[in-house]
Amino acid sequence: MLYLIGLGLAYPEDITVRGLNAVKKCSRVYLEHYTSILMNSTQEELETFYEKKVTLADREMVESGCEEIMADADKLDVAFLVVGDVFGATTHTDLVLRCKQRNIPVEVIHNASIMNAAGACGLQLYNFGQTISMVFFTDSWKPDSWYDKVLENRKIGLHTLVLLDIKVKEPNLESMARGRIVYEPPRYMSIAQCCKQLLEVEETRSLEAYTPNTPCVAISRLGSNKQKFKSGTIKELSEYDSGEPLHSLVILGRQVHELELEYLLEFTDNKESFIKNVKADQEYFKPAPWVPPNQDDDC
């Protein structure tokens, strides 16, 4: 059996009892180590807690056939651990499909992830639209396909969860060109950098999916003892020091409930200014009032 097990957000103890019992009976344990990190846990701490050796599975191992992970999984119990929930990344769906093609039994054990824990900022999960990912821009690569999703969400009044890029065990391109593999130090996108890239793309696309004054809430280190929220506009948060990773951002939609607003006010420095920006934003993309069609006098 191949067990795909969600670990939750921060601590070794965040794993479910069912997940822990599965890990303890597995012959091999892999920890997916490139879509996210377990903030308050080291590999050594996990090994002590599980009483098992844990092998880090980088992008190359997971996406290049998964041969090592699936080896003998039809005869032995193998665990594949994922920070957050198992299906927080499409890569893991691919792993399940590969196992099915080889008749390897798979059992999924779910856990909390940013996709549901984001509600801790006070915004109702029912009011979220499509989630987007913001990657690190380079001088020659500034992808903006996510912009259309934000525009769609905003037009129908829904919040947008923005997942910020992380780079773990990324090869240095110059070294690769010389035939050597040298890995870059880990990098984690900050709230400020994300907001600056949002503003840069809006300036280029100019469809006004959002403005510098669009209200947002920054989410930092969610699920840890250092979690923090910060409400402000995109412009204000582009100058915000969000501290240690991990970070996410929510771009508010037009339909902000009064209870949501009351909660968000706890995280802003200037409540009056934030209320003003939210009210102004509620007029943004507001549907025109319905007008009955013209009818001929003879009808």
Among 97, 112, 127, the domain-final residue is 112
Query: What is the distance between the alpha carbons of residues 274 and 290, in angstroms, rounded to a whole number?
Result: 30
Q: Which of 112, 130, 148 is the last residue of a domain?
A: 112
CATH no. for residue 212? 3.30.950.10
Q: Alpha-carbon dihedral of residues 92, 42, 118, 197, nearest 10 degrees?
A: -80
Kindly state whether residues 130 and 38 are assigned to the same domain.
Answer: no
What pTM was computed for the model? 0.90
The chain-wide mean pLDDT, for the chain, equals: 92
| Amino acid at site 114 | I
pLDDT at 151 over 80: yes
Binding-site residues: 9, 85, 88, 113-114, 164, 222, 247
Structural domain containing residue 145: 115-283
**pLDDT band for position 159 (50/70/90)?**
very high
137 and 35 co-located in one domain: no
For the stretch 247-288, pLDDT in tens is 999 999 999 999 999 999 999 999 999 999 999 999 988 887
Taking CA atoms, 250 is separated from 183, 237, 286, 294, in Å, by 31, 11, 20, 42
Answer yes or no: do 90 and 136 share one domain.
no
Q: Indicate the number of domains in the chain.
A: 2
**93: in domain:** yes
Q: Is residue 83 included in any domain, yes or no?
A: yes
Question: Domain containing 6 — which CATH number?
Answer: 3.40.1010.10
* Pair (49, 133) in one structural domain: no
Q: Judge whether 292 lies within some domain.
A: no
Task: Decide: 162 and 189 in contact? Cβ < 8 Å.
Answer: no
- My answer on whether 32 and 55 are in the same domain is yes
Binding annotation for S-adenosyl-L-methionine: 9, 85, 88, 113-114, 164, 222, 247
**Encoding tokens for residue 176?**
């690769």
Alpha carbon 2 to chain centroid distance? 25
Q: Note whether 139 and 279 are same-domain residues.
A: yes
Domain closes at, from 112, 131, 157: 112
